[in-house]
Amino acid sequence: MSTSEADKPVHVLLVDDEASLREPLAEYLTGQGFRVSEAESGAGARSVLLNQHPDIALVDIMMPGEDGLSLTRFLTETKGLPVILLTAKGEATDRIIGLEIGADDYVPKPFEPRELVARIRSVLRRAGRAAVASPEEDALYQFDGWHLDPLKRKLTDPDGSVVSISTAEFRLLRAFLDHPRSVLDRDRLLDMVQGREAHMFDRAVDNQVSRLRRKIEADSRDPQLILTVRGGGYRFAANVTRVALARD
């Protein structure tokens, strides 16, 4: 990553239909050194994404028109964008669904803005979006003809085509690639993929494994790369190598 890129402020897409929350929060985040793009709806967020490339999205679940869960699925699966859900206290089921479809974290309303800033930074670190790349992020993963560039979050299949993956799928794949041929139980994978309070959402990891298998397995019904270990979790069966990359 170049010095100019590292010096760029983190770009936050803030999506909430309540102007009374959105506008002061945007002002606060700006004061904390973030660049903020606001949207009051899913349609507005999609419009922003036509010519903007934010680093992370804060998405309210309850919005008129397209709800936050539908928008989250679009952001994670199509744009590979980390997402923090802004939720009301009584939306436990929606929080679970949000995490299962790829959201990185959630913050119940009302929240302390300083806590939200800490969550943003934590999610960006977990997603590999830290301002300065670590040595590990400068190495390309290779497995079974596939390539993963962790800094660019770019997954390439054996034919050379780029395959889109969500933030949660990216972190799950990283966990497997960092621990090839090791049995990783669900609790450990949940900690790696979802982070805080992941134990509350047991089935989230199974859903993410299923989605990742559909991306990288020749036949997801007969997986050869991500194997299920009865009573134990999962094991990544392929050999994994690392190749150092020279960044511009």
Q: Is the dihedral angle over the CA atoms 52, 46, 67, 201 positive or is it negative?
A: negative
The pTM score is 0.61
- Same domain, residue pair 8 and 121: yes
Chain segment 212-231, per-residue pLDDT in tens: 999 999 999 999 999 999 88
User: How far apart, in whole angstroms, are the C-alpha atoms of residue 148 and residue 141?
Assistant: 5
- Same domain, residue pair 77 and 101: yes
Q: Which two tokens stand for residue 174?
A: 């990283």
Chain segment 22-48, per-residue pLDDT in tens: 999 999 999 999 999 999 999 999 999
5 phi-psi bin (left φ>0, alpha ψ -120 to 50, beta other): alpha
Percent of the chain predicted with pLDDT > 70: 83
- Same domain, residue pair 7 and 28: yes
- Same domain, residue pair 161 and 142: yes
Domain boundary among 94, 126, 158: 126
- Same domain, residue pair 89 and 204: no
pLDDT the model gives residue 4: 45
- Same domain, residue pair 107 and 172: no
- Same domain, residue pair 90 and 141: no
Helix (H) or strand (E) holding 146: strand 146-149
Chain segment 233-248, per-residue pLDDT in tens: 999 999 999 887 655 5
Mean pLDDT (the chain) is 83
Domain that holds residue 205: 135-244
Q: Which two tokens stand for residue 227?
A: 């194997």
- Same domain, residue pair 109 and 190: no
Q: In CATH, what number is assigned to the domain containing residue 54? A: 3.40.50.2300
- Same domain, residue pair 118 and 143: no
- Same domain, residue pair 207 and 104: no
234 and 226 Cβ atoms separated by less than 8 Å: yes
Q: In CATH, what number is assigned to the domain containing residue 169? A: 1.10.10.10
Chain segment 103-123, per-residue pLDDT in tens: 888 888 888 888 899 889 888
**Domain total for the chain?**
2
Domain boundary among 126, 153, 180: 126
Is pLDDT of 206 > 60? yes
- Same domain, residue pair 114 and 149: no
